[in-house]
Amino acid sequence: MMIVENMIRNEVCEDMKRNYFYRLTRNTVSLTLGGDEMKVQSYGIEIERQDVVNGSIVNIERDCVESISPHRHKVHNLLKLLYDRGVSPIHLIDVLGEYIDEYIVDFDDALKEISAY
C-alpha cells in the first residue's frame, strides 16, 4: 500500500489535542476474468486519529478500506467528504459502506477494459 495523498486536521478538546490523518492509498489487486488473473490498480482510504495529552500520544485509532475503486477521482472525493466532516476512523465503514457497495462495479469495468486490449 502506498500513500498518494495525506490531509491533516487538528482539533482541541479540553486538555486533549486530536490529530486526524486522512490518506488516499494506492494498491494493486488481483482479479480473475475467464480463468486469467489480472492486476488492477486500486485506491483506498485510511483514517488515523492520534490523541495527544501534554505533548505525548496517549491513543491511536486507525481504520482503512484498501480497495474502493480503480478510479482515483472517486476515492479522492470520498476522502474530501470524510475530511470536511471530520469523520473518525471508528465511523469510517459506517460512512463509506454504501459508496463501497456502489463502486465495486468499477472493478468489473476495469477488467473489461483490460481484456479488450
Domain count, the chain: 1
- 20 grid coordinates: 486526524
Q: What is the pLDDT of residues 82-101, one digit of tens each?
A: 999 999 999 999 999 999 99
Q: Check: CB of residue 52 under 8 Å from CB of residue 61.
A: no
Tracing cell 476515492 back to the chain, one arrives at: 75
- 73 grid coordinates: 477521482
Q: What does DSSP assign to residue 115? A: H
Residue 36's pLDDT is 76
The pTM of the full predicted model, rounded to 2 decimals, is 0.89
Residue 60's pLDDT is 97
- Those residues of the chain that have pLDDT short of 70 are 114-117
Q: Provide the domain limits for residue 85.
A: 2-116
Q: What is the pLDDT of residues 31-40, one digit of tens each?
A: 877 777 888 8
